[in-house]
Chains A and B, each alone.
Chain A
Amino acid sequence: MKQLLQKLTETFSPSGYEAAIREVIRAEVEPLADEIRVDALGNLIVRKGPSTGSEQAKKIMVAAHMDEIGLIASHIDENGFIRFTTIGGVYPQMLMGARVRFYNGIPGILYTEPLDAPTDTPSIEKMFIDVGAKSRADCPIKIGEVAAFERPFLDLGDRLVAKSMDDRIGCLVAIEALRALKSTPNEVYFVFTTQEEVGTRGAETSAFGLDPDLGFSLDVTGWGDTPGRKHFDIALGKGPAIKIKDGGMLSDPRIIQWMVKTAEANGIPYQREVLLGGTTDARAMQLVRAGVPVGCISIPCRYVHSPSEMVDYNDVQNAVKLTVALLENSVEL
């Protein structure tokens, strides 16, 4: 599982450019799927279970987004320096001195124009990417090419660190749940979604296409257990979090109950999540068509949207267990 996580997190696929990660995931899930397809927005849709369910069987959508935050080249100056803008929520303080890799494999480093004081945080507008080019003609990058953080996977035992843990860890949970789910009476669709980081766009269209009876997302949440963090009851290692609220959505109370009861019945530790900012694919799923009861299983993650996002391996394994326990039996909300 750790090896697969390394492979998932070391793949470069910012929003809109998910082909690389889609192929990695497809190779894992193809042998496990009852049906597999890619829709018009690039979502990888994997069905497990009967395609035409009985009366009791529910159509369930489980979404994990496979895109990651990144950068996109917007201008190349005559000396070969690349100006850029961001794809998704990239903070400038995370970029100073960072290394990135373009989708075509070219590495680059980030720096800034001189600041008023060396302790200032540069704005994105002042920053540039240096790929070692000596001139515009020499620059191997063209306007519109995308890049993502370059940072190797780090195994600290229980604690695992990587770029794009958001949300390759959700993808890992979905893949491992699919592997562990021997049979289900439900019509389950694992959807590896695109473009979450730029507005939960893949989830919106795939949910419209699938028209599920209910669903949930698998995504990271924030943390409250490092110095100075306040009023957020989520810690690494205390179990996956059952989302009650985030910045964009209130989970359906019936889904919360279903998750809580399932976790307690199976002895799986869990935390109750009230996140103030940010949201997940579930928000888009909830409002599709005539509405969908939704929730979210979150994997607590420190330093979200930095190049070194950290999760706890036990939380990951428990998230897999909870996902399987939710899906393997008939669901009555």
Chain B
Amino acid sequence: MPEITPFLKSLLSVAGISSYETPVTQLIEKKWRPLVDETRLSRIGSLEALKRGSGPEPRPSIMVATHMDAIGMMVTSIADGFLHFTQVGGIDPRILPGTPVIVHASASGEELPGIVVMPPARALPASVGDGVLGLEHLLIDVGLLPEEVAAKVRTGDLVSFATEPKELAGEVISGHTLDNRASVAVLTVALEELQNKSHAWDVWAVATVQEEVSLGGAFTSAFGLRPQIAVAIDVTFAKGPGANDWQTVPLGKGPTLTMGPNIHPYLFKKFEELAKNLEIPYQTEVTPRHTGTDGYATQVAAEGIPTMVIGIPLRYMHTPVELVALKDIQRAGRLLAEFIASLEPDFVEKIVWED
């Protein structure tokens, strides 16, 4: 089994905030290039990698979308050397005070280390002083004098998490941006497995941009590539402290196969059959509305694309200490590779609704 952890850790060590994905795009492109036939960038920056199938032309294609963008922060204004900021994507503000960050200072081109700080309670309105502070009350301190900050940092500069990835006991990894670099690792595992398997279909492995703000990469790549089917892989809520059993799934018990209106039931059925046959641990997850994943975009792109969504259980969503079981990554990667290899040239004709 190929060892994916070092690559995953490298993915967790760069920023790549939505719309500014280039640092992570480069890492992924370098890793995928030897595994595929060609790579290219979409018009808005998604990495589209083609691994050609062996079936007769015109060959159907499957698109696998794993978003590579990260949530982060952006400077809104500077006051006395402290930075006010807003979020790019959704951030849980409760965890921010004390968090180490990197300020990508555009005027000087430096990466300034900083920390998120909060004013003392007495300096805040009585209504919020002792409670959890919203983003509008938090600041970033980079340790410089006000005039130095003014010379280096500008409104609109990016701020990324500086938390280092950490392997914990129990084959678990923690870090920022496991949402959704864990799924990029899944797709990478699948591409590696496919090196030794024949597959009839073309495979478009896509590391999408801007999922955290608009699902923009998935909408546009699905439209541009026009695959016959699409699979989105994204993280899902694993059971953590205080969580119940009906809104979360256990960590480390396998990836989830999602059911619901966003998912084509035939694809779900095929994935489940395959997982059972191969004895790959999996869980089922029901999402009655928006899956909150790239799959929501691929389903309605162009004339519509039958879509499957696979979840990687993750704790502490949208914090700098997200947490994933490495086993779930390997399992999902293997299941995906097996599914792709199982696609017969006439699979599309077999897709049926069972009303």
Contacts and interface: CB of A to CB of B under 8 A. Distances in A.
A53 interface: no
A245 interface: yes
A289 B75 CA distance: 31
Contact of A291 (B18, B42, B76, B84): B42
Interface in A275-328: 276, 283, 286-287, 289-293
Contact of B216 (A253, A276, A286): A286
Given A230-B136, A245-B86, A286-B216, 6 more contacts: A244-B74, A249-B214, A289-B220, A290-B223, A290-B224, A292-B44
Interface string A238-267: 000000110011111100100000000000
A99 B4 CA distance: 66
A140 B7 CA distance: 71
B20 interface: yes
Interface in B212-232: 213-214, 216-217, 219-221, 223-224
Of all A-B residue pairs in the complex, the 10 with the closest CB atoms, nearest first, are A290-B224, A291-B220, A250-B19, A244-B156, A291-B44, A291-B43, A272-B155, A231-B84, A272-B156, A233-B77
Contact of A245 (B74, B216, B217, B223): B74
A166 interface: no
A91 interface: no
A272 B77 contact: no
Given A272-B155, A276-B86, A290 B76 contact: no
A91 B224 CA distance: 40
Contacts of A188: none
Contacts of B224: 289-291
- Considering residues A245, A248, A256, which has the most beta carbons from chain B within 10 angstroms of its beta carbon? A245
25 contacts: A224-B77, A231-B77, A244-B74, A244-B155, A244-B156, A245-B74, A245-B86, A245-B88, A245-B156, A250-B19, A252-B44, A272-B155, A273-B155, A274-B75, A274-B86, A276-B86, A286-B214, A287-B214, A287-B220, A289-B223, A290-B220, A290-B223, A291-B216, A291-B219, A292-B44
Contacts of A224: 77
B177 interface: no
Contacts of B156: 244-245, 256, 272-274
The dominant DSSP class at the A interface is loop
A331 to B, nearest CB: 14
B163 to A, nearest CB: 23
A247 B157 CA distance: 16
Nearest to B20: A253
A248 B42 contact: no
Contacts of A293: 43-44
Interface string A139-181: 0000000000000000000000000000000000000000000
Nearest to A250: B19
Interface of A: 224, 230-233, 244-245, 248-253, 256, 271-274, 276, 283, 286-287, 289-293
Interface string B142-173: 00000000000011100000000000000000
A298 B112 CA distance: 29
B66 interface: no
B319 interface: no
A102 B52 CA distance: 61
Interface in B39-80: 42-44, 46, 74-77
A272 B42 contact: no
Given A231-B136, A272-B155, A290 B216 contact: no
Contacts of B86: 245, 274, 276
A214 to B, nearest CB: 9
A293 B136 CA distance: 30
A128 B92 CA distance: 42
A314 B76 CA distance: 24
Contacts of B154: 272
B188 interface: no
Given A250-B18, A276-B86, A287 B216 contact: yes
Contacts of A272: 154-156
Interface in B126-150: 136
B103 to A, nearest CB: 14
B209 to A, nearest CB: 9
A268 to B, nearest CB: 17
A293 to B, nearest CB: 6
A204 to B, nearest CB: 12
Contacts of B183: none
Contacts of B210: 250
Nearest to B209: A291
B19 A253 contact: yes
Given A233-B77, A250-B210, A287-B214, A274 B220 contact: no
Contacts of B84: 231
Contacts of B20: 250, 253
A290 B43 contact: yes
A252 B220 CA distance: 14
Contact of A274 (B155, B213, B219): B155
A18 to B, nearest CB: 26
A80 B46 CA distance: 57
A203 to B, nearest CB: 15
Given A250-B18, A289-B224, A232 B44 contact: no
A274 B76 contact: yes
Contacts of A250: 18-20, 88, 210, 213
B219 A287 contact: yes
A327 B321 CA distance: 46
B231 to A, nearest CB: 19
A292 B43 contact: yes
Most buried by A among B20, B42, B86, B155: B155
